Every structure is written in structure tokens, then in C-alpha cells.
A = this chain, B = another copy of it.
Amino acid sequence: MGPLASAQFMLRLTLLTPAARDQDHLPAILWSDPRVPDRTAARLAGGEDPLPWLNRGIAGLEAAGCGVIAIPCNTAHGWYEGMRAATRLPILHIVDAAAEELARQGVAGGRIGVMGTAGTLAMRLYQERLEGRGYDCIVPEEAEMQALVSPGIALVKANRVAEAYAPLAEAATRLRARGAAAVVLGCTEIPLGILAGPHAEIGVPLIDTIDALALSALCWAGKL
């Protein structure tokens, strides 16, 4: 969906693989279809339903012989059950991958910040799945979404990655100020923007959902 996030997923999947030569790496097929209707607009503004487009990708990956599906777009997980019903393949869930990464980074529970698209936050994808694991999720305020997070995501989608750092880092810093012990970058455009600047200054563990999903795929494949 976000094609830069999709390409970055492939890059990170490769770099996170213990490998000494080509043949040690995982075979993988990337179905990058940026024509999928905007997921947030579909959920919040009555835009075109993305599910038929998502299921076209699933069918293409199944036909190509894949054994598991990873979807490096958080908002698309709002249609997770619809996709799952359309395939016999397992689909990794990006929120579960983020939860595993929180645990890996030593954040076992308590208050965490979640950044994401307006669609992801409105669907409560993180809140519902993480609250059962002992996390209390806080999210940016409506004004912060409009001034910082949504514009930051749009800049990445327009290839203006360096410019996306400032608004996204500001939103993460405000979540930290409200007590977040970690911030989940719950839209795969967000790590691209945050990592383009001095992100260590934010001063709180950042959960990169691209890396988290790649690690989850490598675990599935027995590479880690």
C-alpha cells in the first residue's frame, strides 16, 4: 500500500536475516499495489472499500506459492478478518508483532503511546489487542493528529521523508510527556520519517512496526 514502507519492509527483512550468501535468504514476493483505496478514507469518510483490492493481493501471493502473508500496513489490518476468510494461508498480525517487539525491548506493561493513521486509531486496532496484554494505550489528541501525525504520514507517502521527521518526532515527544513508557509507530510510514532524523533524542523506546513484522516473518520461517 504505502510503497516506500513496502520496499523498506523488504530491505529490513533482508538485513535482519542471518545470511552469508544469496541462498541463505528467504524467497519472498512483494505485491506492492499503491492503487488500493485509502484505508483511512474508507473507514472514516465512506470511501471505496479496500477489501476487494486487498484480497486480490492475497490471491496473487497464494497463487505464487507463498506460505505466509505479512502486510506492512497497519490500517489494512482493519480488514484482517475479511482477508483471513479469503485464504488458507496464515496472515501475521502486525499488532501482535508490535507486542512481541515491546516485550523484546523490555516494556512488559503499563502506559504506552500509539501513533497511527486516523483510521487505525478510530478502529482501535492497537487498543483492543494490546489492552488484553496489560498495556494501557494513549494516542495523540485530535489536534495533534491534524497538525502533526497525519501531515507527517502524508509527507512520507509523497517521498518527502526528511521533512516528516519534525512533526512525527514532536507527536512522539508529547506522548512521552503524557507518561508513555514506549511509543508504537503504528503506521509503517512513521518509522521512515522518524528514522530520518535524530530519533534517539525522543528519549523513549520506539517500536518500529516494519522491523517488528519482519522479525515476526523471520521467526515464522525459522530463521531466528
**Beta-carbon contacts of A10-31 to B below 8 Å, as 1s and 0s?**
1101110101111111111111
Looking across the interface, which residue of chain B has its beta carbon closest to that of A60? B64
Q: Does A105 contact B (CB under 8 A)?
A: no
Proximity string of chain A (124-164) to chain B, C-beta cutoff 8 Å, 1 when within and 0 when not: 00000000000000000000000000000010011100000
- Copies of this chain, whole number: 2
Stretch at the interface among A34-42, A81-89, A179-187, A200-208: A34-42
Contact of A28 among B28, B32, B64 (CB under 8 A): B32
Q: Is the interface of A mostly helix, strand, loop or mixed?
A: mixed
Q: A34-B22, A64-B64 are in contact. Are A6 and B10 (CB under 8 A)?
A: yes
Q: Which of B23, B31, B157 is the one whose CB lies under 8 Å from A21?
A: B157
| Extra 6 A-B pairs, beta carbons < 8 Å, given A22-B36, A28-B32 | A1-B22, A6-B10, A15-B159, A19-B159, A26-B34, A60-B65
A binding-site residues for B, Cβ under 8 Å: 1-4, 6-8, 10-11, 13-15, 17, 19-36, 38, 60, 63-65, 154, 157-159
